[in-house]
Amino acid sequence: MITRAEGAYLGAVRAFQNPMLDLLHKKHAPLVVSLLSVTFTAERPTVPVADAHTEIGDALDQLRAAGYEENLPTGSARDLCRQWADAGWLVRQVLDDDVEAYRLSAHAVGALEVAGRAGGARARVSQSRVRTLLDAVEQLAQDTDPDVLVRMARLDGQIKRLQAELDRVQRTGTVDEVDDEELLEEAENVLHLVRELPADFARVAESIKAMQRDVVTALRQDERPTGDVLREYLERGEHVMESTSEGRAFAGALRLIGDPQRLDELAQQLDVVLRHRFTRRLAQQQRTELREIVRRIEQGLDQVFTAQREASYVITAQVRNHDPLRDRQVDVLLRDVMAGMQAWLPGARRFQPVDPLRRLPVAEVEHLRQTAGDLRPPEAPTPLTAWDDDGDDVTGDDARAWGGPHYADLTSHLVAFADGSDEVDVAAAFEAAPDGLRRPVDLLGMLEIAHTHGMTETGRVAFVDAVRPDGTRRRLAFGAVTTTTKDDDA
């Protein structure tokens, strides 16, 4: 049975195996914290690998020149960065322009945050911090209490307090000013809360990346049918944010801070705070942190969304482009090659020649197709039906009767119907035309002629009866117009 002391000791051992505490526990922890905090800032969360090596190397040279040689580790800046990456403090990634860069891991961000709080001003037990605690507990109690009457009573009390405050302000026209000391305490509490955000965002992004690695590894080792693999992993790729506890917590917080309007309101509120006189008592770094709150939130959101997009892309690409069976065969082949190398290297001598593989093994294929498929169709297509152009007795008059408008005859009819008048009603002229000029297409032709000569809308609807060449009739409606029968050049 494990004693209480032994259980506490084992818990502490597991805690110090965390890369964050491991960083702070190292002999050269002050150097690591200082170099990482100088190289990686809120304005530059990622640094190209070559630039990081150069900047850290210059910082080491400056410290050696200042007389801190004994407190510095041996090795170049490249070696230190490789050690920090192996320890889980730095993460290598490839940017969009194919440039390899470093970024701080969530453990390193947390370590820098702890070191910054320990080296800066201590958090005080203030009215602001206690109110934050009480508000959080009150909200927790409201969310967990299902009693409707209790909720109604609580809301009624809040409404009465707010109404009393509104009545007082309307009656007096003044707002009670808060003491500068209390405002200073509230600002320090806000800064204390904000300093934890970068590490929280980094942990969410890294949890998504860890889930991505687990999914890809499981996909490569999966022995189920490809269809089942596709359905499961494509679904996980589309819902990566709900696949981790950090992601689900972030999704809940996103409903509060993900709205651009909410961020704009936050920026306006911070601007009001920074214009107050009490901010002159804050250090320049604290004022800068207050001013950069919105930008740090936006950077954190972008970091998480980028990790989510990359995870979805990697999982989807893995499913679409990789065959689990083939990947397992490649893994087995690579392990066989490594095993062969490990067996050959201990007994090999320097410059010992290696016999090359002069021919590849022959594939064991049971049967190959020996004849090409027959390209001829199984049967001839159905013959086309013979068409006799001389079989239909269609005269030219019939074809013309079913053709386009008779413009010349329509113009003559309009002039005759006008009988010397300056204007003529198109609907009346069409109704007075013979059946050969009262086809539906002739009405369009008459309107075209009226448009050419200039027509005027009367504002009413005209109805006419058109006669097709086969004798059928159709009633048409259009906006009534009048036109002139005189040419514009007359």
Q: What is the pLDDT of residue 227?
A: 61
Burial 329-343 (b: 16+ CB within 10 A, else e): eeeeeeeeeeeeeee
Helix, strand counts (H, E) of the chain: 20, 6
The residue with tokens 């329509």 is 410
Q: What is the pLDDT of residue 244?
A: 59
Please state the separation of Cα 122 from the chain's center in Å. 39
* pLDDT 10s digits, 363-408: 777 777 777 666 777 777 788 887 766 555 667 777 788 888 988 9
Closest CA to 209 of 314, 300, 111: 314
Q: Which residues contact 111 (CB under 8 A, 6 or more apart)?
A: 20, 21, 23, 24, 33, 89
Q: Which residues of the chain have pLDDT under 50?
A: 121-123, 125, 488-490
d(CA 109, CA 41) in angstroms, rounded, equals 10
**Are the C-beta atoms of 237 and 315 separated by less than 8 Å?**
yes
**Are the C-beta atoms of 89 and 105 separated by less than 8 Å?**
yes
Look up residue 222 and give its amino acid. D
Q: What is the pLDDT of residue 131?
A: 67
3-class DSSP assignment, residue 105:
coil
Q: What is the pLDDT of residue 247?
A: 63
The residue with tokens 């070696």 is 79
Q: What is the pLDDT of residue 245?
A: 61
